[in-house]
Chains A and B, each alone.
Chain A
C-alpha cells in the first residue's frame, strides 16, 4: 500500500476541476509584471502593484513566473462613498471613479516575499477574469467574492454562492447593503411564528 498508489491514483475526475474551462494562459515571461503595472509602491512594509483589470490574468501569470507561485488569498474591497473621494492606488485619475478593488495576495516561498496585486473595477457591472486555473484555491475565494460582493468572474467553472443560501438577495459585504435590514428568522418577531394556526 504505497502512498502514491493509494490516494493520488486516478486523476480523471480532476479534469473538471477547471483546467479545461479556463482561458489559455496568455504568453508572459519573467519580469513582465513591471510592464503591466500602472502604479506600484510599498505600504506598511508590503510591496504592491496596480494593474488594469482587463490584464489581471497576464499580471498574475507574470507574478507567478517571477517566483510568487504560492497563493495566500484573494478578496475584494468596496470603496463606495469614501470620504476622500476616490480610493488610493488606482493608477490614473481620469474617468469614472472605480468602486471595487480586487486584491490578490501572493507569496514567494523561496525568498519569503509577499506581493499584493490590485485591480480596480467600475461600479456598474463588475466583471474580472477568473484565475482559478493559475492558482487552485482561488476557485472558492472567487465564489466567495461573487457571493458577498457580486463581482463576476469570467471563465469560472462553477460561479455560484458559496457561503449564503442560493436564494439570498443582495451581496452583504457591499457597503450599501443595509445592516439590520433583514427579518431575523426563528425569532419571536418572525411572521410565521405570530400567525401560527389557532388550534395549535
Chain B
C-alpha cells in the first residue's frame, strides 16, 4: 500500500471521494495531474485504489494500490486443520466459492493420492459451472451498469438468484457453500435440486440471448468497449494473464481443456477464444463461456452417474451416522477425525482450476501434521490486475472504468 504516500502527492479530498493534486511545476505543453481514484469509487468493484497520472484526459501512468481487504486468509488456513480450512477458501474469492473449494480439495487430494468417485466428480463439475455462470452474472451486470446499461444488473441478478437457490438446495448455503471438500462433496443432489437445475438449463439460453440483445449490438456499449483496453497476445502471456483476459487476446489456454480435472475431458465444449484483445473481445469470451457452461451442465446432468459421493476412506471422512450406533471402529474413526483430523504425507502439491476469473489454484505444503504448514492461494485477480497499466496507457480516463470492469478483479481475491 506504499504507492499512495509517495512524495509530491498532495491530497485534498474533493466531492465524491475523488482527490486531485498537482505534481511539480507544469512544463509547457504538458501538465501532469495526479488523480486519486477510489478506493470507495463505485466502479472499483470493492476497494481498489488507483493513482492515475493524466495529461489532459490521456492516461500516462496507473499505479494500483491494493490491500484494503486483506484478511490474512492464508495465515488463518495455516492455523486450521485440513478439513476446517475448506471454510476459509469460500471467503477468499467470494464470487466463486466453489472454484476455491474445488482447487483446495484437488490440492489436498493430490497430496494424499486420493481419487474421488465419478458421481462426486460430476457434481463438482455441475456446481463449478453454475458458479462460473453466477460469477459472470455479477461481472456482466456491474460492467453493464458502469457503462450506462443499468437494466443489465437487474436481469443478471435475477439469473444469479436462481443459482444461489440451487446452492442453497444442495449445500444449505447460498454463498459460502463449503460444498466441495477433500474426499468428495458435502451432500448428494436432491430430486428437487435436479429438477430446479433442469429448469434452469432450459431457461438460461433465452436469458443469454436477452443479454446479448441488450449489449452486443448496442452502439454505446460497442463504442465504449471496441478498441479499448487493448492487450496483445505477447503482453497477455508476459503478464501471466489467465482466464478470459488471456483468451480474449487469442491464446487458447483453458485448464479444463489443457489439464482436465474432475472429468472435464468427458464433456464436449469449446474454449471461448477471441483474437481482438480489447474489452469487447473479453465480453464476447465471457458470453460464449456462459453458453458453453450451459452445454456442460446439460451433459453433466444427463450423464450423472450413480454411486457414492465420497471416497470410502474412514481416515479422511467420517463414517455414516448409522454405523456409529453399531460399530466401535466407526466411533473411533469419528472421534479421531473430529479431534485430530487427518495428516497428509510430507510434501507439497499445487492444483489449479479454471475459475470465472482465470487460474485459481491452491498450493499446500504438508509437514506431516494435521494442520497445513503453508497454504498459498494463487489468485487470478491478483495477477490479472497487474495488466491495468499496460491496457490503460495512452487511453482516456473514461476508458479506465471499462478496463477495470473487463479485468473482473474481485478485491477479496486480490487481497486475500
Tell me if B390 and A114 are in contact (CB < 8 A): no
Closest residue of B by beta carbon distance from A80? B373
Chain B CB within 8 A of A75 CB = yes
Closest residue of B by beta carbon distance from A6? B227
Cα(A90)–Cα(B293), bound, Å: 43
Tell me if B70 and A7 are in contact (CB < 8 A): no
Tell me if A7 and B391 are in contact (CB < 8 A): yes
Chain B CB within 8 A of A45 CB = yes
Contact pick for B349, options A4, A44, A137, A166, CB 8 Å: A44
Residues of B with C-beta under 8 A to A140: 382-383, 386
Give the 5 A-B residue pairs with the shortest CB-CB distance, closest first. Answer: A160-B2, A7-B230, A137-B240, A9-B394, A44-B349
Residues of A with C-beta under 8 A to B237: 69-70, 109
Tell me if A43 and B347 are in contact (CB < 8 A): yes
Chain B CB within 8 A of A161 CB = yes
Q: Which of A10-18, A30-38, A119-127, A184-192 participates in binding chain B?
A: A10-18
Chain A CB within 8 A of B132 CB = no
Tell me if A83 and B369 are in contact (CB < 8 A): yes
Subset of 20 A-B contacts with CB under 8 Å: A3-B230, A6-B228, A7-B230, A7-B278, A9-B394, A14-B390, A69-B237, A70-B240, A72-B240, A73-B376, A77-B365, A78-B374, A82-B373, A88-B346, A140-B383, A158-B3, A160-B2, A162-B1, A162-B67, A166-B5
Tell me if B393 and A44 are in contact (CB < 8 A): no
Within B357-371, which residues are at the interface with A (CB < 8 Å)? 359, 361, 363, 365, 367-369
Chain B CB within 8 A of A96 CB = no
Tell me if A83 and B367 are in contact (CB < 8 A): yes
Closest residue of A by beta carbon distance from B403? A7
Q: Which of B71-79, B87-95, B318-326 participates in binding chain A?
A: B71-79
Residues of A with C-beta under 8 A to B75: 172-173, 177, 179
Q: Which residues of B contact A (CB under 8 A)?
A: 1-3, 5, 60-61, 66-67, 70, 72, 74-75, 78-79, 110-111, 113, 226-232, 235, 237-240, 251, 253, 258-259, 276-278, 346-350, 352, 359, 361, 363, 365, 367-369, 373-374, 376, 378, 382-383, 386, 389-395, 399, 415-416
Tell me if B350 and A46 are in contact (CB < 8 A): yes
Residues of B with C-beta under 8 A to A148: 74
Closest residue of B by beta carbon distance from A160? B2
- A157 → B minimal CB distance (Å): 12
- A1-B226, A9-B394 known; A82+B349 contact, CB < 8 A: no
Tell me if B349 and A161 are in contact (CB < 8 A): no
- A66 → B minimal CB distance (Å): 16
Contact pick for B376, options A8, A17, A75, A82, CB 8 Å: A75
Closest residue of B by beta carbon distance from A114? B350
Tell me if A163 and B67 are in contact (CB < 8 A): yes
A-B contact count (CB 8 A): 160
Residues of B with C-beta under 8 A to A44: 110-111, 113, 347-349
Residues of B with C-beta under 8 A to A43: 347-349
Tell me if B1 and A164 are in contact (CB < 8 A): yes
- A150 → B minimal CB distance (Å): 14
Residues of A with C-beta under 8 A to B78: 173
Contact pick for A77, options B251, B258, B374, B378, CB 8 Å: B374
Tell me if A166 and B346 are in contact (CB < 8 A): no
Tell me if A137 and B110 are in contact (CB < 8 A): no
Chain B CB within 8 A of A112 CB = yes
Tell me if A1 and B227 are in contact (CB < 8 A): yes
Residues of A with C-beta under 8 A to B367: 79, 82-84
Residues of A with C-beta under 8 A to B110: 44-45
Q: Identify the interface centre among A9, A11, A44: most chain B CB within 10 Å of its CB.
A: A44
Residues of A with C-beta under 8 A to B392: 7
Closest residue of A by beta carbon distance from B260? A112
Cα(A5)–Cα(B367), bound, Å: 52
